């Protein structure tokens, strides 16, 4: 007789016998970076040669679509429908990666080769996101095998190849294919757990609002001896403008950028006792307890509050300094914001604040939403259902957070498709995604495989929550992506 424990045991065996590592190796070997035009053919190859045959063997009908926006990677949809009356899950992932950065990996490691060291698999995409969506599909395969080719629910798959370029085209694609993507719930994996050993469910994502501050005073630099002390230095002025936005300990001074009513009660309740840490010593070196909004816990700062970051700033030529007062200064900044604030007010608030502080000469350029925030209520029935299922499988606490700390295309699922979101990350915040030496920890990956085998099994047992439109609600602030 097929059993839940049998499905979980099959998933464990696929992980332990090397089958999953072999699969991950094949996926990572495809250099599907979306950030280098020369690798554009690899984006299609990943979908057509690595994913399509695999999911077709599981009974999915597959279509690979061109991106609605020219110059961005293709999008795959796949569907496995047993009965339209059964619950339908939308499973999401992305097969594109950031640049390989081959020359920056430490000796013995290569971005497009999986290298095992201790409890880690190194390689580009192992954590973000090839390794994560492969875990979920491998677990689905195990449940199919245990149930003799049946699931007891429907699955739709969406794999995009432009997430590392801001998921450009995904909003337009969702508008064109709403029926294709219709479902009861989104269940997907991306990003890190709160700690490596603590299974996590995120119910949304913070958004990104980006802008440039620009001060141009003259057409060229002027001699620092003749003019220094007589003419305005744009670097000094830009520095003071930035200090008017945030105090020396990281408290945001543009208070209109923040949630008007503080951290919502349901968010604070979800984050009670929530740890924040990399688990490998990185946290102690990275978390500054005195930085940020006073009175908030570290978890509330990154999961329930907004952050202001200066990504880059330049004045003059740092690589070849001249004995001159620079003609201009530029700072590129962004706000990581939660769904409790409206990003469409950010630019006006910034302009008003700069003017009030005496910086009317500082221009704001290129302002806009790069990735929108979205959130499903942490106590939504689908979230509680998933948490119960995972805790039953893993026999340990599962932490629910109201949103991931980073960006995801959650607005597409929450705003456009009206789906509650259950994000189950399999990585951790020390995985070095987006940098050299990216890796996936085997322990959390194996737990993720077992947890998803349990989730897929439980979906086929009945007793799932009702349709997405009727329960719990989703909070989102979409705005318009720039």
The predicted pLDDT at position 406 comes to 81
Count of other CB atoms within 10 angstroms of residue 152: 17
Q: Confidence band (pLDDT; 50, 70, 90) for 203?
A: very high
Is the per-residue pLDDT at 479 higher than 60? no
**Residues 132 and 93 sit within 8 Å (Cβ to Cβ):** yes
The predicted pLDDT at position 189 comes to 98
Q: Confidence band (pLDDT; 50, 70, 90) for 472?
A: very low
Q: What average pLDDT does the segment 460-464 reach?
A: 93
The predicted pLDDT at position 278 comes to 63
For the chain, give every domain's residue range: 4-205+373-461, 207-267+295-371
Q: What average pLDDT does the segment 455-466 reach?
A: 93
In whole angstroms, give the CA distance from residue 123 to residue 433. Answer: 10
* Lowest-pLDDT choice from 223-232, 278-287, 419-428: 278-287
The predicted pLDDT at position 277 comes to 76
Q: What average pLDDT does the segment 373-399 reach?
A: 97
**Residues 161 and 42 sit within 8 Å (Cβ to Cβ):** no
The predicted pLDDT at position 405 comes to 83
In whole angstroms, give the CA distance from residue 427 to residue 140. Answer: 19
For the segment 340-350, what is each residue's pLDDT rounded down to a tens digit?
999 999 999 99
Q: Which own/partner pairs from 111-114 qualify as long-range (CB within 8 Å, at least 24 positions apart)?
A: 111/31, 111/436, 111/438, 112/28, 112/29, 112/30, 112/31, 113/25, 113/28, 113/29, 114/21, 114/24, 114/25, 114/28, 114/29
Question: Which run of H or E residues covers position 208?
Answer: strand 207-216
CA distances from residue 331 to 49, 208, 363, 374 in whole angstroms, order as listed:
42, 16, 11, 27
Is the per-residue pLDDT at 470 higher than 60? no
Tokens of 294: 């006073």
In whole angstroms, give the CA distance from residue 93 to residue 402. Answer: 20
Q: Confidence band (pLDDT; 50, 70, 90) for 279?
A: low
Q: Confidence band (pLDDT; 50, 70, 90) for 468?
A: very low
Q: Confidence band (pLDDT; 50, 70, 90) for 148?
A: very high
* pTM (predicted TM-score): 0.91
Is the per-residue pLDDT at 286 higher than 80? no
Nearest to 473 by CA among 347, 366, 351, 374: 374
Nearest to 29 by CA among 122, 112, 87, 110: 112
The predicted pLDDT at position 407 comes to 82
Q: Confidence band (pLDDT; 50, 70, 90) for 285?
A: low
In whole angstroms, give the CA distance from residue 25 to residue 459. Answer: 29
Q: What average pLDDT does the segment 244-264 reach?
A: 96
For the segment 61-96, what is each residue's pLDDT rounded down to a tens digit?
999 999 999 999 999 999 999 999 999 999 999 999
Q: Which CATH class is domain 207-267+295-371?
A: alpha beta
In whole angstroms, give the CA distance from residue 453 to residue 10. Answer: 9
Is the per-residue pLDDT at 389 higher than 80? yes
The predicted pLDDT at position 409 comes to 94
User: Which CATH architecture best describes the domain 4-205+373-461?
Assistant: 3-Layer(aba) Sandwich (3.40)
On average, the pLDDT of the chain sits at 94
Q: What average pLDDT does the segment 131-151 reach?
A: 98
**Residues 232 and 238 sit within 8 Å (Cβ to Cβ):** no
The predicted pLDDT at position 469 comes to 37
């Amino acid at each position: 007789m097929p059993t839940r424990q049998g499905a979980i045991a099959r998933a464990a065996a696929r992980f332990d016998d090397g089958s999953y590592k072999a699969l991950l190796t094949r996926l990572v070997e495809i250099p599907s970076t979306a950030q280098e035009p020369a690798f554009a053919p690899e984006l299609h190859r990943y979908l057509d040669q690595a994913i399509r045959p695999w999911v077709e063997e599981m009974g999915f009908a597959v279509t690979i679509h061109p991106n609605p926006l020219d110059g961005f990677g293709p999008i795959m949809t796949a569907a496995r429908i047993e009965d339209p009356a059964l619950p339908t899950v939308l499973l999401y992932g992305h097969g594109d990666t950031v640049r390989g950065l081959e020359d920056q990996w430490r000796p013995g490691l290569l971005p497009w080769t999986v290298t095992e060291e201790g409890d880690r698999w190194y390689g580009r995409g192992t954590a973000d996101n090839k390794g994560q969506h492969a875990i979920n599909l491998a677990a689905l395969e195990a449940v199919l095998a245990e149930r003799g080719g049946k699931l007891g629910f429907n699955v739709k798959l969406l794999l995009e190849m432009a997430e590392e370029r801001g998921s450009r085209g995904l909003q337009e694609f969702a508008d064109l294919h709403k029926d294709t993507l219709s479902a009861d719930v989104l269940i997907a994996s991306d990003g890190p757990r709160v700690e490596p050993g603590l299974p996590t469910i995120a119910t949304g994502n913070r958004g990104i609002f980006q802008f440039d501050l620009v001060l141009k005073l003259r057409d060229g630099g002027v001699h620092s001896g003749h003019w220094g002390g007589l003419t305005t230095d744009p670097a000094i002025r830009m520095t003071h403008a930035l200090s008017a936005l945030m105090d020396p300990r990281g408290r945001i001074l543009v208070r209109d950028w923040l949630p008007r009513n503080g951290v919502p009660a349901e968010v604070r309740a979800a984050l009670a006792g929530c740890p924040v840490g990399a688990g490998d010593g990185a946290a102690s070196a990275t978390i500054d307890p005195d930085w940020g909004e006073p009175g908030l816990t570290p978890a509330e700062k990154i999961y329930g509050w907004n952050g202001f970051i200066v990504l880059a700033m330049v004045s003059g030529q740092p690589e070849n300094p001249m004995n001159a007062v620079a003609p201009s200064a530029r700072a590129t900044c962004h706000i990581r914001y939660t769904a409790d604030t409206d990003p469409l007010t950010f630019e006006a608030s910034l302009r008003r604040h700069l003017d009030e502080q005496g910086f009317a000469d500082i221009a704001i350029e290129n302002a806009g939403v790069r990735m929108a925030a979205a959130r499903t209520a942490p106590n939504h029935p689908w979230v509680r259902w998933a948490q119960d299922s995972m805790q039953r499988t893993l026999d340990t606490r599962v932490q629910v957070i109201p949103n991931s700390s980073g960006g995801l295309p959650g607005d597409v699922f929450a705003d456009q498709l009206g789906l509650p979101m259950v994000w189950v990350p399999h990585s951790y915040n020390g995985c070095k995604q987006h940098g050299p030496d990216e890796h996936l920890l085997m322990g959390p990956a194996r737990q993720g495989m077992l947890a998803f085998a349990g989730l897929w099994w439980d979906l086929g047992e009945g007793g799932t929550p009702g349709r997405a439109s009727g329960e719990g609600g989703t909070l989102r602030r979409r705005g318009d992506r720039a």
